[in-house]
Amino acid sequence: MKNNIYIGGDSFCFDRYGPYGPAIGWPAMLADKLNLILTGAGFPGRGFWNVRLNLIDYLKDNDNYDYTDLFIFCHTNPDRLISKDYSRSLIGVRYDAYPPPPNNKEIVEMYDKYLYEQDIHDWAMKRWYSELNTILKGKPVVHLFCFQPSERLSHNLNGFKLSNNLHIRARDAGINNNIDDYALVPTGPEYPNHFPISTNIKIADELANYYLNEISLNTTQTKYFDIDI
Amino acid sequence: MHVYIGGDSYCYARGPSTWPYVFADRLNATLEGIGFAGRGFWRTRLHLMEYLDKGYDADLFVFCHTEPSRMLSSTYAGGIHKAFDLNSQIPPNNREIIKIYNTYLYDQDVHDWAMSQWFLELNEILKQKPVIHFFIEHPTKQLSEQLNGYKLESSLFTHTRNSNVGSLDPLVENYPKVVNHFTTDYNIKFGNALADYCLNEVLPNPMQTKYFDLDII
């Protein structure tokens, strides 16, 4: 019987298997390489709350904890709304999760203008990291950081932590090179998870090799690592 | 000896004949900390962190934990039950902001999670200190299982009712006749009962974790 791999996060791990079956994104490619069943989900534009809800729901089945060989998280920006209904990205509202009226844009603008406090969002993200340490104690965990702010808080996390955030890597791998404009992260069918197909393949290859050569031998280490993508 | 008392309106008033004053006086202690009326735990957290960062260090900590539904905000006050008018919030005023937040963004699971994380953080920050916890309402108490320290079994709201403040809405009315949501007489009795319990139980066994109750006579 195959064991599981859980991959959860934001849009950087959203694309998985294509509509006709074959893997189109690095999460599915990685699961295939390791001969594991892919679980978890990517929530585009969402904050960590949706990932947390998904993980807690997944772990309600005790077997899932025991039979998951590897957990991978793509940690999004702490600035995003802590909400299951509304989404907020760095550049405002990119994704509509079909929330009830008023629309997502109005809610996020009101929140940004009157209620947003970076200290509170940073604190919540740090507490989420601390909760992850507790929930997944004893399991191998890889942390990928999607943006610089989520990377900035990474010292609170246990596990294998990828140096340099995915946003920089996506930007470098894409067609745009304006480092100051978050809007220029490549998107669309040619860029699953914001990367060209070739980079998705490369990420899956590198993470699979790192898992087999490092993580599976020292499952509960805490260290920063790097891969060549 | 220094006693830090932090929380919401239940520990806002600190003059003579209030329970924080009576309690500190009975312990011959300097009273520190502050109560933020109508505010969520975030203001209490900010004050505690600043207090500790400045190098202050009380011998005993007491917290009046407010309801988890209140805003996580350093500026706005209010929760799912009611909004509080703060003069500094124009425009839009505090009431308008809270109404929008409660209508579209309030999520009890998020607030409960944040409160539980605050409780875990308190355990970490004050793990070498004696701590007494009060809870305004039972929903807060349901989250209290994970807290270390001495935890008052009865809710503060129950004590408000027991103090016969004479109002259908004792949490907000009769100020300043009623302070900390207790009558003057009840403030004194509450402070004395807490001091008795502290001297007989908490200070001799400072690191215990247990629920307790106070006999207010």
The domains located in chain A, with CATH, are: 4-225 (3.40.50)
The owner of tokens 């600190």 is B14
Residue B22 · residue B195 · CB < 8 Å: yes
Give pTM, 2 decimals. Answer: 0.91
Compute the Cα dihedral for A106, A109, A114, A115 and give only its sign.
positive
Judged by a CB distance cut-off of 8 A, whether residue B215 touches chain A is: no
Q: How many contacts, defined by CB atoms under 8 Å, are there between A and B?
A: 45
Closest by CA position to B73, among listed B107, B41, B95 = B41
| B113 pLDDT above the threshold of 60 | yes
Residue A27 · residue A199 · CB < 8 Å: no
**Dist CA B189 CA A160 (whole Å):** 55
Q: Say if B96 falls within a structural domain.
A: no
Give the confidence band of B139 by pLDDT, cuts at 50, 70, 90.
Answer: low
Q: Say if B101 falls within a structural domain.
A: no
Q: Say if B182 falls within a structural domain.
A: yes
Average pLDDT, chain B: 87
Q: Say if B11 falls within a structural domain.
A: yes
Tokens representing A109 are 């603008």
| B180 pLDDT above the threshold of 70 | yes
CA distance A172 to chain B (A): 36
Q: What is the ipTM of this complex?
A: 0.90
Encode pLDDT of A162-180 as tens digits. 998 888 777 777 655 554 4
Q: Which residues pair with B65 in a beta bridge?
A: B135
**Host domain of residue B67:** 2-77+110-212
**A 86-105 residues with CB below 8 A of B?**
86, 100, 102
**Dist CA B131 CA B151 (whole Å):** 9
Judged by a CB distance cut-off of 8 A, whether residue B101 touches chain A is: yes
Q: Say if B105 falls within a structural domain.
A: no
CATH number, position B28? 3.40.50
Q: Find the radius of gyration of the CA atoms of chain A.
A: 17
Rounded to an integer, the average pLDDT of A211-219 is: 94
Q: How many domains does chain B have?
A: 1
**Dist CA B76 CA B78 (whole Å):** 7
Q: Which of B75, B111, B113, B116 to mutate to test the interface with A (most CBs of A within 10 A)?
A: B113
Encode pLDDT of A76-98 as tens digits. 999 888 988 777 655 444 444 45
Residue A79 · residue A85 · CB < 8 Å: no
Q: Which residues pair with A137 in a beta bridge?
A: none
pLDDT of residue A182: 54
Report H helices in B10-93: 19-26, 41-53
Q: Say if B98 falls within a structural domain.
A: no
pLDDT of residue A46: 87
Judged by a CB distance cut-off of 8 A, whether residue B154 touches chain A is: no
Q: Say if B48 falls within a structural domain.
A: yes
Q: Say if B87 falls within a structural domain.
A: no
